[in-house]
Amino acid sequence: MRDTRAELLMQAETLVRGRGYSGFSYADLAAAVGIRKASIHHHFPTKADLGAALVAAYAARYEAALTAIRAEHPDGAGRIAAYGRLYLGGVEQGLGCLCAALATEGDALPERLHHDIVRFFEAHLAWLERVLAEGRADGSVRASLDPAAYARFVIATLEGALLMERLLGGPEAFQGTLRALDESLR
Amino acid sequence: MRDTRAELLMQAETLVRGRGYSGFSYADLAAAVGIRKASIHHHFPTKADLGAALVAAYAARYEAALTAIRAEHPDGAGRIAAYGRLYLGGVEQGLGCLCAALATEGDALPERLHHDIVRFFEAHLAWLERVLAEGRADGSVRASLDPAAYARFVIATLEGALLMERLLGGPEAFQGTLRALDESLR
DNA sequence: AAAAATCTACCAACTAAATGGTTGGCAACC
DNA sequence: GGTTGCCAACCATTTAGTTGGTAGATTTTT
């Protein structure tokens, strides 16, 4: 992966997470990176290509983070808390979730992107379900909780809190929701 | 309020909730309503005017719904459940929350819209806080719960679940999260 | 090792279509 | 007779995307 290409991906991600997919143009991105519009097309022929690369890179980063969390935190509740802190980073930077931004524009999105986002969320659901089931076994998570249903509940709460607190309550408010979420699974 | 104007608001709301604010154009709206582009400008001089009217109408509808819920449901937990069912309607129609769609594009939004969205969420937070405090008094909501913090938790969960289940699990999955939310406050 | 061919990253200049918005006018209605 | 609702015909700007090309690096051929 080229240096310019990486820079393009980074700046494009910031743009999408701040203004949405149809909210930024190749001209915006070119200005942000300090390159000409035509050069972006050299790396990403169409905007949909760029979008797909964005989701792929974002998903890969999250996948690595999820693996690290399982390795570094021994118990279920601690892992969910660490997962929640991933979203906190977005609030601190004032940026939403890339896939939430894309999901919002779902109806206008290229089919291929639509599918990539679904896969992103499904990967998180599968990870959470597993972590919750393990947490039930290790006793850090209450036994009455249904891992599959609760996995959805966790993502929903975190995505929604990121969406809202990014422009309302900031990191402190977000951490309050993090605490409420932690309570609810013990 | 004119008939055409109401039709414009309705179709524009559907467009924004499905594709985002910068994801639709006056041409799209004109086609949806069966009118010419220029005529939209007669009712809403600028796109920001239309956006502001959209939020105002949406907020007014919600305000009425919130009042009705308090009148029709006696206890705190029942009111929160009814509030959750408001969002379920969105999932069933395959449409996200208008203000969530706008919040996503926050960085690119006219300042005036930005402010209107914040007010929308703050009104909901205030209502929820009140309902939760009353629910604690009537015993339907656990006493250990902090109404202010939990109000944020509730909106976050519902907004996030709407965002996700609109394109993932559909109404059934959403209702699972509704159940988990209800459990968590008892 | 020199020369030739190929590839990579970039850009100036362009295009067609779409964007939000304006102007001037027409017809119906109080 | 002025207000209201609408539209055809504009307009400037922006959009994603194309074309044809240059300069430098890399690889291939001799």
Q: What integer is the mean pLDDT of A100-106?
A: 95
Burial class (CB in 10 A: 0-12, 13-18, 19+), A7: middle
Kindly state the average pLDDT of the residues A79-92. 97
Is 60 exceeded by the pLDDT of residue A174?
yes
Contact check, Cβ <8 Å, A107/B181 = no
State how far the Cα of B176 lies from the Cα of B26, in Å rounded to an integer.
Answer: 38
Give the pLDDT confidence score for residue B25 in this predicted structure: 96
What is the mean predicted confidence (pLDDT) over A91-115?
95
Ordered structural domains, chain B, with CATH: 46-185 (1.10.357.10)
Q: Is the CB of B43 under 7 A from strand D?
A: yes
Which chain A residues are within 8 Å of B20, Cβ to Cβ?
A: 20-23, 104-105, 108
- Exposed / middle / buried, residue A41 (Cβ in 10 Å: 0-12, 13-18, 19+): middle
Query: What is the distance, to the nearest Å, from the Cα of residue B141 to the centroid of all Cα atoms in its chain?
Result: 24
Look at residues B121, B7, B141, B113 and name the one whose alpha carbon lies nearest to residue B51.
B113
Averaged pLDDT score across all residues of chain B: 96
In angstroms, the CA A184 to CA A180 distance is 6
Instruction: Compute the average pLDDT of residues B8-35.
Output: 96
- Three-state DSSP at B109 gives coil
Query: In this structure, are residues B152 and A176 in contact, taking their beta carbons and an 8 Å threshold?
Result: yes
Two tokens, residue A85: 């802190």
User: Residue A163 above 50 pLDDT?
Assistant: yes
Q: Rounded to whole angstroms, how far apart are CA atoms B33 and B11?
A: 7
- CA dihedral over A145, A151, A153, A158, signed as positive or negative: positive
Percent of chain A beyond pLDDT 70?
99
Which nucleotide minimizes the distance between its C1' and the CA of A37? C11
Residue showing tokens 């039930």: A136
Q: Which nucleotides along chain C are within 7 A of a protein C-beta?
A: 8-14, 18-24
CA distances, B177 to each of A148, A162, B163 (Å): 10, 18, 12
Q: Is A71 on the interface with B (CB under 8 A)?
A: no
Mean pLDDT throughout B44-53? Answer: 96
B175 reaches A (C-beta below 8 A)? no
Q: How much is the pLDDT for A2?
A: 62
Chain B residues touching residue A101 (CB < 8 angstroms): 104
Q: Does at least one atom of strand C sit less than 7 Å from the CB of B25?
A: yes
Give yes or no for residue A73 having a pLDDT over 90: yes
| CB-side neighbour CA atoms (13 Å) of B63 | 10
pLDDT of residue A1: 47
Q: Give the whole-angstrom CA distance, residue B183 versus residue B186.
A: 6
- Within 10 angstroms of residue B42's Cβ, the number of other Cβ atoms is 11
Q: Which of A163, A168, A176 sits opposite B104 (nearest CB)?
A: A163
SS (H, E, C) chain A: CCHHHHHHHHHHHHHHHHHCCCCCCHHHHHHHHCCCHHHHHHHCCCHHHHHHHHHHHHHHHHHHHHHHHHHHCCCHHHHHHHHHHHHHHHHHHCCCCHHHHHHHCHHHCCHHHHHHHHHHHHHHHHHHHHHHHHHHHHCCCCCCCCHHHHHHHHHHHHHHHHHHHCCCCHHHHHHHHHHHHHHHCC
Please answer yes or no on whether A176 and B152 come within 8 Å at the CB atom. yes
Spatial distance between the Cα atoms of A59 and A112, rounded to a whole number of angstroms? 15
Residues B69-86 have pLDDT tens digits of: 999 999 999 999 999 999
Among the partner-chain residues A107, A153, A161, the one whose CB lies closest to the CB of B19 is A107
| Model confidence pLDDT, tens digit, residues B49-71 | 999 999 999 999 999 999 999 99
Q: Is the pLDDT of residue B2 over 70?
A: no
Contact B153 A176 (CB under 8 A): yes
In this predicted model, what pLDDT tens digit does every residue of B102-161 receive, in sequence order? 999 989 999 899 999 999 999 999 999 999 999 999 999 999 999 999 999 999 999 999
